[in-house]
Chain A
């Protein structure tokens, strides 16, 4: 009897394994010779550039000191480290020999040209919504970039996660392929926004919580999530913003990276807004319209209690109030923290990151900046300050896990956004002196 059961189990395993293998196997798509840059319609290339900005492609596909789109950035996931790939048209190490069909398959199904399953750190669960025209534009844009020879380091994933065919199972569970279908009850702007937000812009990759297997939870869309140690706030009715967002404020914020009534984009979001500052206003407006509809309308702003004491009060008064209580809104003054989303957020993490590392100056635009206090505040002083800020500027209960969050934020200090900028100083004025060296 036992032997018969064992046999049955073995047979079932073989069948299941065979079925899985059949499912997991994807054919390679033949390589092509790299299409000449001149073969692409310039208007299509231009649109592809805008779409690449909306898709935030460069953020992951560019290493800290690397060339744009040449990949190699270490993306830390709960499962291990995945390195982004080179999507410049280099024939050996990039996508130079990919046909448009192969490129589309990667976007829509998460399979590379050679037929290997891609890890969902590449958000094909969102990109599957991208329509064929936009996929062509992205292809045209990427294939006309300068080819860069750069091979991404091997992923650091534990067995069995390093076995790519397993991803077929993940896809079976979590990937719904198919292009975006507009909602006939909504206008064109809303539908364009829904298309971008859920597709190429992949907002939910951070702003929607993920399950234990790393898939976004569809039934909790935009309920807030995590992004590289930062809290990605809820965009739905649970938004912790003290003053409700509307489409106008969102469009301003997404384009400029800050809003006087809400605060400053920081962490990975600052790269998003940096990219969105370069795209046509119509696209940003559509995104804002759709996000505003997710948030719905909230009757009133939260009412901070504004009564707080304790050791943090003196620290706030002496170190923070000069800017934050000066009654001068961003970008030239510090935001009234009763308006800032940080103090009302679900975790203290974002406030900790900003207090420790500040808001580095960025580019030549007029933008909010703030000095960091990592060298000034010790952990206890920072915890006191956070407790005070939470009590005074939000109507929420005290944060838990502050000490752990402070430890982690200090340890992850390198991941500040925007990273202190690489040398963007003009080369001309100092050249003479430099030449003398």
Chain B
């Protein structure tokens, strides 16, 4: 079937009940999204479908006809990170890094619907995603930084928070 990932259509040769995560990693070699629990309880596999963050381990591709999938690779690259990825780097938010792609994607979905979230709103939005290293405070700051960048960018005032 056809699958739109990061703005490109892919012909995917997989059973319709295959979880999106497997297709991303095994067929398209987009390894940003991670397998954590396989039960939608840890968030390591989070990607965006249209504008919402979803657990890709629980989304069979048969649900995705005509929908847009965005993975962390779709936001930016190592050389050219998007503002949120850049904020995660600047805040050194990754320790082992396993949860980070999922955190970024859930935060990206949040910023898309709410460009200036409060800390409470960030906490609530990121609640489904676990980080077992314990870098939560840095992750929160990274999201705040990205939101700040966007806010100031809008008034053309550079990248200061």
Contact = CB atoms under 8 A, between A and B. Distances in A.
Contacts of A315: 60, 62-63
Interface in A289-324: 314-315, 317-319, 322-323
Interface stretch (B5-13, B77-85, B95-103, B131-139): B131-139
Contact of A425 (B52, B59, B136): B136
A319 B123 contact: no
Given A420-B127, A421-B127, A377 B63 contact: yes
A317 B38 contact: no
Interface residues of B, number: 29
A318 B120 contact: no
B55 interface: yes
Contacts of B52: 374-375
Contacts of B141: 433, 437
Nearest to B15: A318
A434 B58 contact: no
B16 A314 contact: yes
Contacts of A185: none
Contacts of B128: 371
B39 interface: yes
Main secondary structure of the interface of B (DSSP, over half): mixed
B40 A423 contact: no
Contact of A369 (B38, B41, B137): B41
Contacts of B59: 319, 376
Contacts, number: 65
Interface in B116-153: 120, 123-124, 127-128, 134, 136-138, 141
A381 interface: yes
A425 B60 CA distance: 33
A319 B137 contact: no
Interface string B44-60: 00000110111100111
Contacts of A363: none
A429 interface: yes
B97 to A, nearest CB: 18
A188 B134 CA distance: 52
Contacts of A377: 63
Contacts of A381: 63
A371 B41 contact: yes
B90 interface: no
A34 to B, nearest CB: 33
6 contacts: A318-B18, A361-B127, A375-B49, A376-B54, A376-B58, A433-B141
